[in-house]
């Protein structure tokens, strides 16, 4: 159905109400007509079926204050049925479509829109959300929570991992109708509106979700065995998910639009993934930086020297050890750490650990003995004892 057709339809006439009818009057008129022309009461009567569709269609628009306003404005703009784009003069330039006018509703309806089978009229009702959502408006998909375990290296470099997720979706067995045969009937309590009045207070009329149909507007004749009449089912799917580089253990990342699909043209929800990161035998992690402990000999620490240090996923780097490097000193290899959000890398923090040989023999022993002799006059504990006396 084109916008033009839609605007040319006089929904007020269909429901038999004046243009300035109140919400209550529209509701009342719709209920009366819906009862009269309901397919259940008119089995095999194609005319009644057609009329019922028109009534539902009119109510979908006029029964929703926001859509009614848009409809009224569109009709005021183009005249009552007088929307006749002139040749050339903007003929094709009315660029809004049904989706704009009616909140994306057309996108969610099957091709043919309201003109299609009875199922199209029900289409909006079936996928109804909880209380408060309007049945013909696009609905954002649910957010989904999931978790994933990455190896240390995968977390640093990013990884594409399969993620199994389950979400609520319309039940396939009953096409989301909740009815075994796919032919639910309109709920008599709320006449398909899904809402019942709670009485009025201070001029506001309050509504509750209909208790009989749980706000769906429909009642299953025979409940679907798969979804127990709810019309909703758990569907699970496996998705390849790209985890960005640089995530850390316990981090919760948000993947926009990777959640449950939206309904009636609504956007998909988001996927939240809690990341668990395994340990690495050599490297540790401190924010954007990686850490590694490197053994050096006493001679290297005392005399200085060049020390080869392994990096994660890259060639080793050579670190210049200055003479007299104390045990436990941490040095920095720039750009060899974890990947940051902007693609740059943190640093590799290299901690020097002077290793003491278990056995010293031969020339090394001779040299060490000579060293002891040469340093016999230096008491490394002199300061300690001095300090212990004071204070």
Is residue 227 close enough to count as binding Zn ion by CB under 5 A? yes
- Cross-strand partners of 208: 196
Rg (alpha carbons) of the chain, rounded to whole number:
37
CA angle 148, 151, 155 (to 5 degrees): 75
Is residue 61 close enough to count as binding Zn ion by CB under 5 A? no
Is residue 50 close enough to count as binding Zn ion by CB under 5 A? no
Task: Extract the tokens encoding 147.
Answer: 């978790």
Is residue 218 close enough to count as binding Zn ion by CB under 5 A? no
**Annotated binding-site residue? 264:** no
Stretch binding Zn ion (CB under 5 A), from 164-172, 269-277, 314-322, 352-360: 164-172
Hunting for tokens 């201070």 — which residue is that? 202
Q: Return the half-sphere exposure (C-beta side, CA atoms, 13 A cut-off) of residue 317.
A: 20
**Annotated binding-site residue? 249:** no
Q: At its nearest, how many Å lie between Zn ion and the CB of residue 181?
A: 11
Is residue 125 close enough to count as binding Zn ion by CB under 5 A? no
Tell me how far apart the alpha carbons of residues 22 and 25 are, in angstroms, rounded to a whole number: 5
Q: At its nearest, how many Å lie between Zn ion and the CB of residue 41?
A: 17
Is residue 146 close enough to count as binding Zn ion by CB under 5 A? no
Is residue 226 close enough to count as binding Zn ion by CB under 5 A? yes
Is residue 186 close enough to count as binding Zn ion by CB under 5 A? no
Please, which residue, 103 or 209, has the CB nearer to Zn ion?
A: 209
Is residue 195 close enough to count as binding Zn ion by CB under 5 A? no
Torsion of CA 21, 22, 25, 30, to 10 degrees: 80
Q: At its nearest, how many Å lie between Zn ion and the CB of residue 190?
A: 3
3-class SS of residue 154: helix
Question: Which residue among 159, 173, 245, 274 contacts Zn ion (CB under 5 A)?
Answer: 173
Stretch binding Zn ion (CB under 5 A), from 38-46, 47-55, 174-182, 346-354: 174-182
Task: Extract the tokens encoding 133.
Answer: 């959502």
**Annotated binding-site residue? 174:** yes
Is residue 171 close enough to count as binding Zn ion by CB under 5 A? yes
Number of chain positions touching Zn ion (CB under 5 A) = 12
**Annotated binding-site residue? 187:** yes
**Annotated binding-site residue? 171:** yes
Q: Which residues contact 27 (CB under 8 A, 6 or more apart)?
A: 63, 193
First-to-last C-alpha distance (Å) of the chain: 94
Q: Which residues contact 355 (CB under 8 A, 6 or more apart)?
A: 295, 296, 297
Tell me how far apart the alpha carbons of residues 313 and 191 are, in angstroms, rounded to a whole number: 66
Is residue 187 close enough to count as binding Zn ion by CB under 5 A? yes
Please, which residue, 225 or 379, has the CB nearer to Zn ion?
A: 225
Q: At its nearest, how many Å lie between Zn ion and the CB of residue 106?
A: 26
Is 61 within 8 Å of 10 (Cβ atoms)? no
Residues annotated as binding site for Zn(2+)?
171, 174, 187, 190, 210, 213, 224, 227
Contacts to Zn ion by CB under 5 A:
171, 173-174, 187, 189-190, 210, 212-213, 224, 226-227
């Amino acid at each position: 159905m084109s916008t033009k057709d839609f605007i040319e339809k006089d929904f007020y006439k269909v429901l038999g109400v004046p243009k300035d009818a109140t919400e209550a009057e529209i509701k009342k008129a719709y209920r009366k007509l819906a009862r009269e022309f309901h397919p259940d009461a008119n089995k095999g009567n194609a005319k009644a079926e057609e009329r019922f569709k028109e009534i539902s269609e009119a109510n979908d628009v006029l029964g929703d204050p926001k859509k009614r306003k848009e409809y009224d404005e569109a009709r005021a703009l183009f005249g009552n049925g007088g929307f006749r784009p002139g040749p050339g003069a903007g003929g094709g330039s009315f660029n809004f479509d049904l989706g704009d006018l009616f909140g994306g509703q057309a996108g969610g309806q099957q091709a043919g829109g309201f003109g299609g089978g009875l199922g199209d009229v029900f289409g909006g009702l079936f996928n109804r959300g909880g209380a408060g959502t309007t049945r013909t408006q696009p609905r954002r998909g649910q957010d989904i929570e999931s978790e994933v375990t990455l190896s240390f290296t995968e977390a640093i470099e990013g990884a594409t991992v399969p993620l199994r997720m389950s979400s609520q979706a319309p039940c396939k067995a009953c096409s989301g109708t909740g009815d075994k045969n796919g032919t639910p009937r309109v709920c008599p309590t709320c006449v398909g509106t899904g809402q019942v009045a709670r009485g009025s207070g201070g001029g506001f009329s309050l509504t509750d979700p209909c208790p009989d149909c749980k706000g769906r507007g429909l009642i299953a004749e025979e409940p679907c065995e798969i979804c127990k009449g709810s019309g909703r089912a758990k569907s699970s799917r496996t998705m390849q998910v790209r985890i960005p580089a640089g995530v850390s253990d316990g981090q919760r990342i948000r993947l926009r639009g990777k959640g449950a699909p939206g309904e009636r043209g609504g956007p998909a929800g988001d996927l939240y993934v809690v990341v668990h990161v395994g340990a690495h035998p050599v490297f540790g992690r401190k924010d954007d930086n990686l850490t590694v402990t490197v053994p050096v000999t006493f001679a290297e620490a005392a005399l200085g020297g060049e020390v080869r240090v392994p990096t994660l996923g890259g060639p080793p780097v050579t670190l210049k050890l200055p003479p007299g490097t104390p045990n436990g000193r941490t040095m920095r290899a720039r750009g060899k750490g974890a990947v940051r959000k902007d693609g740059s890398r943190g640093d590799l923090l290299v901690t020097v650990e002077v290793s003491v040989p278990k056995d010293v023999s031969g020339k090394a022993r001779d040299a060490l003995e000579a060293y002891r002799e040469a340093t016999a006059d230096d008491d490394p504990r002199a300061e300690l004892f001095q300090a212990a006396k004071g204070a």
